[in-house]
Amino acid sequence: MTAPLGVGLLGLGTVGSAVARAMGDRPRRLEHMAGRPLRLAGAAVRDGAKARDAGGVSVTTDPFDLLDDPEVDVIVEVIGGTDPAFDLHLAAFERGKHVVTANKELVARRWNELHEAARLAKRELRFEASVAAAVPVVAAARMLAASRPRVVRGLLNGTTTYICAQLDARRAFDEALADAQRLGYAEADPSADVDGLDPAYKLSILVSLLEGRHFHPDDVRRTSLRGVTAADVDEARTRGAALRYLATADFGEKATKARVAPEEVPLGSLEGEATGPQNVVRIETDLAGTLVFSGPGAGGDATASAILGDVIAIARATR
Ligand SMILES: NC(=O)c1ccc[n+]([C@@H]2O[C@H](COP(=O)([O-])OP(=O)(O)OC[C@H]3O[C@@H](n4cnc5c(N)ncnc54)[C@H](OP(=O)(O)O)[C@@H]3O)[C@@H](O)[C@H]2O)c1
């Protein structure tokens, strides 16, 4: 039998726990698809005493217990943010591990350094889960390498889609935001959602893939969703439109312009009908025409699906 592929989780929150549960509940399917067993070595967390629904995986508060474990081949980083995640990615490559992550902020901000570290280590950096969770748009963008991109446009943030749908139902912005927080859609500090940082990171990753070079998230012009009123929603409706928080990249002849802003979409379109975590991504290119992707863009299981797809791809490539 081929040797198992060892996996070490950094982070055991919403996403990490879902990865651990999925690895625990379908080992045979994963082995079949990977061509060898996947073995979860453990998970690094901040609080070692916290109760978790993570299939009984062993936890440590020292990420180096996993980084220095010779039986760990792949590090799955689902801590989030840039610090300490960036140093942990570099430490993983230095130790000859592959890295899989859902961390859009880190990939968007430190694109060049991470790709260079992976290249020097001759290891893989994979981040399908960082954009639109279960919807395989990172793979799609890679497969469009021969096509010239024209436009990327879509809904890349579930919290703001939820808020827009609530505004459609004549709720006030603050009430809708409070609901999103209560339902666990929005962060306690919702700025990354409603001020556009989160969709800007995801758009930056898609543009970087489609252009084959880093497009920095600071170059995405952001207009906050705060300040959208019932009157704006009513006015859009008179034009047969709804307001949604759209991420758009226009690939011009000379320069690519990217923005995240409240914009009108046709009522009855996929975007106009979206009410929560489902994402919609349209990619228009010269050779491939317009491709449309839609599906769950957040949530533990949906994100775990993309992460394990990446882990399986590494297992198959390194058999
Ligand atoms: N949630 C989603 O739907 C979703 C979707 C797509 C992508 N993502 C991305 O996935 C990543 C994880 O998100 P999440 O929602 O799972 O976050 P989360 O629930 O806040 O979990 C973060 C985990 O990281 C651990 N952690 C924090 N600092 C650490 C440190 N210094 N060393 C070791 N562990 C540390 C935490 O430990 P404790 O548990 O002990 O506090 C926790 O287990 C983020 O990059 C996020 O953007 C999330």
pLDDT in tens, 206-246: 999 999 999 999 999 999 999 898 899 999 999 999 999 99
Section 62-87 average pLDDT: 98
Q: Which atom of ligand 1 is nearest to the CA of 16?
A: 16
For residue 82, give Cα distances in angstroms to 109, 237, 269, 275: 8, 40, 36, 30
Question: What is the phi/psi pair of residue 244, to 5°?
Answer: -140, 155
Cα 45 to ligand 1 centre (Å):
9
From first CA to last CA, the distance across the chain in angstroms is 11
Q: Which of 46, 58, 67, 83 to mutate to test the pocket of ligand 1 (most atoms within 8 A of CB)?
A: 46
Domains recognised in the chain with CATH numbers = 5-133+300-317 (3.40.50.720), 137-296 (3.30.360.10)
pLDDT of residue 288: 98
d(CA 273, CA 230): 18
pLDDT tens profile 146-157: 999 999 999 999
187 SS3 class: coil
pLDDT of residue 189: 81
> What is the band of 183 on the pLDDT scale with cuts at 50, 70, 90?
confident
For residue 233, give Cα distances in angstroms to 25, 56, 260: 45, 48, 18
> Residue 38 pLDDT > 90, yes or no?
yes
Q: Which atom of ligand 1 is nearest to the CA of 130?
A: 7
Percent of the chain with pLDDT over 70: 100
Q: State yes or no: is 202 an active-site residue.
A: yes
Cα 78 to ligand 1 centre (Å):
5
Q: Is the peptide bond before 84 cis (omega within 30 degrees of 0)?
A: yes
Residue 289 carries which DSSP code? E
Is the shortest distance between the CB of 63 and ligand 1 below 6 Å? Answer: yes
pLDDT of residue 143: 98
pLDDT of residue 1: 64
pLDDT tens profile 118-152: 999 999 999 999 999 999 999 999 999 999 999 99
* DSSP states of 209-268: HHHTS---GGGEEE--STT--HHHHHHHHHTTEEEEEEEEEEE-SS-EEEEEEEEEEETT
pTM of the full predicted structure? 0.98
Q: From the candidates 50, 122, 202, 257, which is the catalytic residue?
A: 202
**Ligand 1 atom 28, closest CA:** 46
